[in-house]
Chains A and B, each alone.
Chain A
Amino acid sequence: MILDQKHAMEQRLFRQFAETEFTKEIQDELDQTGEFNWDMHRKMAKYGFMGVRIPTQYGGAGGDYLSYALMVEELARVDAVLSIYANTSNSLGGGPLLLAGTEEQKMKYLPPVASGEKIMVFALTEPGAGSDAGGTATTAVEDGDCFVLNGRKCFISGAPMADWAVVFAKTDLTAKGSRGISMFVVDMKLPGVSCGAPEKKMGINGYPTCDVVLEDVRVPRDCLIGPLHKGFSIAMQTLDGGRLGMAAQAVGIAQSCLEESVKYAKERKQFGRPIADFQGISFMIAEMATEVAAARELVYNAAALKDAGQDATMACSMAKYFAAEAANRCAYKAVQIHGGYGYIKEYKVERLYRDARICSIYEGTTQVQQMVIAGQLLKK
């Protein structure tokens, strides 16, 4: 896709910011400590990254899905975990409110999220409900002007830093599967809300992930987002947008694998010449470049479909499926081209290999994306 002037300018901004601000020291520290970098969060917020896709009336920048995809890709190209910093508020965090919130709820929650002052996360997954989100066991029972929430959410990215979480809970206990689920904004400081210890992850370290435990949490009625019992379809629509972001992240990682490989193949000499001169290496690079280009087109196309208001469910799943798998293949090849050095932490491809691995798992595994694509084709 040839970008128009506005999107090309945004791409330049995101690239320049990432290349300048995401120093090697910061990247290493994030990977080693796994801790959240508040300074970087605030710096991104200052330039409007947290609200790229949030409309201006709610304090955002008023960009579209393509702007959002370009941002995540360019940030991930330099550091995958830092792309998540600016991703959540624009997708899973802010998404449910944008889709189903009342005007009052949007005015209350979105401006501080768009400015980066508050962090909102998405709490759908449970120990027994991962790909099968319909298996949600967390309950919300009406009690006067409140709902009382009980349950356990797991793998909640950003929960340790969050001010609010969008929590999915069963409100109609008699309904089966994905029915009878509702969506609530839960203040993380409410009595009964607690976080587990941050998980020790393979990659994307620096954006802590943990369990969220809800024990008799009394959530005011006005925290219900969207119609009662109808939360699941909003969750699925939110995930459409989220998948687009994660597909863009995979493109950024794959692009970085390609760039690192090209650089190294020209520098590294074996048998008296640069390894780039060997067909075995050059063909791997050709494959990587082609896969990155194809993945990027799928992502931009899915973004353009969403921006045009068209049904993009299948396009988002295709983009996520292909880009995530391409990122893994590119990471494999990048490490292979680097040989022994690729296995050493000093080289970026070692981290890229670990960071790429999550792409085909979170926000819908590759197999879930295939189910969505097949479902669209076969069940109509």
Chain B
Amino acid sequence: MKIFVTVKQVPDTTGKVAVNPDGTLNRASMQTITNPDDLNAVEAALELKDKLGCKVIALSMAPFSAEVMLRELIAMGVDEGVLISGREFGGSDTFATSQIIAAAIDTYGVDSDDIIFCGRQAIDGDTAQVGPQIAEKLHLPQVTYAGEIEKDGDTLRIRRMLEDGYMTVKVRTPCLITCIKELNTPRYMTVRGIEECFDKPIRIMDYQALKDHPLIDATTIGLKGSPTNIFKSFAPPLKGAGMMVEGGPKESAGKLVSMLAARHMI
């Protein structure tokens, strides 16, 4: 049994977010972190590893500088890091990215008892598309927004946390699950893990390694293979703090009307 976890290096938004003149993110000037939801996915995988002793593989499509992030995950307990990196992959949108990551996972090999964990979404793009698209391209069942996971044999019982309630779903392996932050609290690295993580190899999957996979051709990867075009990126203006109008329905409606009237809005 193997567990794949997909991870992304994202800008640390607690610092300053910089945008290039062409509208793309200026990643070089920003500190990076592992995408928070992805850490929940890593923790979910490691908890299963603690119980079942399976192998956990973290995959990331990123420049070579993301190697440190993969090593940090190894220091948390991940067994192997796979860095999917190549100039040909640059500029990929979610469609092209999921195409490449799906090809990488398929090249590694998905067995009948394997699971793929993804974070719900990345804090830089907030699309929540890559995980589901990987599942589609690998023809695997997917369950999104996992807030609780229980494994019993080849079946996972998952509580999906939705905006207006929850839904409990059973799914058989192999499958793909996207994880939300309520699922768990990611563990820290251990000191020993850090001492040893630099001695472990990181597997590199470049264009050469993936080019023969059916999902990979020039029209489906990189900037050229990306149907999405970004015209502009900007920081939205900050909204002011909201105000709660207290009281019963009638009373609060009355208060609200008089407040709107006082501002000449009605």
A and B interact physically:
yes
Interface contact A13-B188, CB-CB below 8 Å:
yes
Nearest-CB distance from A333 to chain B (Å)?
28
Given contacts A9-B72, A9-B75, contact A47 B190 (CB under 8 A): yes
Interface stretch among A48-56, A240-248, A335-343?
A: A48-56
Q: Is A16 an interface residue (CB 8 A)?
A: yes
One of A9, A51, A60 near B194 (C-beta < 8 A): A9
Point out the residues of chain A lying under 8 angstroms from B193, CB to CB: 48
Nearest-CB distance from B213 to chain A (Å)?
32
Measured CB to CB, the nearest residue on chain A to B187 is A47
Distance in angstroms between the alpha carbons of A63 and B191 in the assembled complex: 8
Measured CB to CB, the nearest residue on chain A to B68 is A5
Distance in angstroms between the alpha carbons of A47 and B194 in the assembled complex: 11
* Total residues of chain B contacting the partner, CB 8 A: 14
Distance in angstroms between the alpha carbons of A63 and B75 in the assembled complex: 14
Measured CB to CB, the nearest residue on chain B to A8 is B68
Interface contact A49-B191, CB-CB below 8 Å:
yes
Distance in angstroms between the alpha carbons of A13 and B194 in the assembled complex: 9
Measured CB to CB, the nearest residue on chain B to A86 is B191
Interface residues of A in 1-34 (CB under 8 A from B): 5-6, 9-10, 13, 16-17
Measured CB to CB, the nearest residue on chain B to A114 is B192
Given contacts A5-B68, A9-B71, A9-B75, contact A47 B188 (CB under 8 A): yes
Distance in angstroms between the alpha carbons of A47 and B187 in the assembled complex: 9
One of B68, B188, B190 near A61 (C-beta < 8 A): B190
Distance in angstroms between the alpha carbons of A16 and B191 in the assembled complex: 13
Given contacts A5-B198, A6-B198, A61-B195, contact A48 B190 (CB under 8 A): yes
Distance in angstroms between the alpha carbons of A341 and B190 in the assembled complex: 38
Chain A residues close to B by CB (< 8 Å): 5-6, 9-10, 13, 16-17, 46-49, 51-52, 56, 60-63, 67, 71
Given contacts A61-B192, A62-B192, 14 further A-B contacts (CB under 8 A): A5-B68, A6-B198, A9-B68, A9-B71, A9-B72, A9-B194, A9-B197, A10-B191, A10-B194, A13-B75, A47-B189, A48-B192, A49-B191, A62-B195
In the assembled complex, 27 residue pairs joining A and B whose CB atoms fall closer than 8 Å, in A order, are A5-B198, A6-B195, A6-B198, A9-B68, A9-B71, A9-B72, A10-B194, A13-B75, A13-B191, A46-B190, A47-B188, A47-B190, A47-B191, A48-B192, A49-B191, A51-B191, A52-B191, A56-B192, A60-B192, A61-B192, A61-B194, A62-B192, A62-B195, A63-B191, A63-B195, A67-B191, A71-B191
